[in-house]
Amino acid sequence: MSLVLEKVAPSTVEPQEPRRRFRSLIRRPGLVLSIVVVVLVVLAAFWPELFSSRDPLTGVPSERFQAPGAAHWFGTDELGRDVYTRVVHGAALSLKATLIAVAVAFVVGGGVGLVAGFVGGWVEDVLMRVVDVLLSIPALFLSLALVTALGYGTVKVAVAVGVASVASFARVMRAEVLRVRQATYVEAAHSLGTRWYAILFRHVLPNAIGPILVLVTLDFGTSILAVSSLSFLGYGAAPPAPEWGTLIASGRNYMANAWWLTTLPGLTVAATVLAVNRIARALDER
């Protein structure tokens, strides 16, 4: 009888695990809504034609400043262009810049923290002093200085935002590497004569990268705000490119009679950032 139970138990437990996870997800409607928002933004960035068939750069002069309604969900701007269409197509530019910024911060910051924590000694001292200097400068000011030196454009804004986030990734990665380096299995690998690069890539990096991946999700929302802020100030893609920050900036001149030109793109940015942060918090809890 016990042998039969041992054989039956795994098959009865395994199908219940996805159901349990699904029920726990349903009990968290905020997380479900956040996932839906992020999925919609990603789809809009890569396949904008799924959401709108209009041209984001072409307007109808007779439909200038139409309020949000059934024909134009987000209204129209001063040239008769559909604001909803421009927001949808602007997701591609904003998401592209955000991905570049997060990638720069992850690769450069993670690499600096990994080397500093694993090598130690004077190398760690030099690298972490550079990181301390970067941390002493507000991220937005550092981004402004870098984008001024690099020039205008979406990619250059993304690189500037990414460099401004390098210090945070370096600090977190170094702390995790120092923690993992003192683990018993790492000391055992050292005592067995395992080469340093095998210890680094087989033991230290896989066990230290978890918090960095959570930080990537958190930094994604922060980078969206930073990229939109620099675009708002005029450092991003030049008009008529429908970048989110540019849309908000161009609509501020018509706040008195066309509030939707700034409010609705701004709410889109806010909803995306809040959704990403909610997902990051859920990943951190796991």
Per residue of the chain (286 residues), give pLDDT as tens.
444 444 444 444 445 666 665 566 566 778 889 899 999 999 998 998 889 888 888 888 888 888 998 888 998 988 889 999 999 999 988 898 999 999 999 999 999 998 988 888 888 889 999 998 988 888 888 888 888 888 888 888 999 999 999 999 999 999 888 888 887 877 787 777 778 778 888 878 888 888 888 888 888 888 999 999 888 888 888 778 888 988 998 888 888 888 999 999 999 999 999 999 888 888 777 6
* 7 part of a folded domain: no
Cis geometry, peptide bond prior to residue 18 (ω within 30 degrees of 0):
no
Q: Which amino acid is at 280?
A: A
- Tokens 């007779």 belong to 62
pTM of this structure: 0.81
Whether 60 maps to a domain, the answer reads no
Residues 200 and 284: their CA atoms lie apart, in Å, by: 24
Dig out the tokens for 58 from the structure.
């072409």
Q: What is the CATH number of the domain that holds 147?
A: 1.10.3720.10
DSSP-H helix ranges across the chain? 2-13, 16-26, 29-46, 83-104, 110-119, 121-136, 139-150, 154-164, 166-181, 184-191, 196-199, 205-208, 210-232, 244-251, 260-285
Q: Identify whether 266 is part of a domain.
A: yes
> Is 66 part of a structural domain of the chain?
no
Q: How many domains does the chain have?
A: 1
What is the span of the domain harbouring residue 40? 27-53+75-285
- Nearest-CA neighbor of 94 among 252, 272, 275, 283? 272
CA 231 and chain centroid, separation: 17
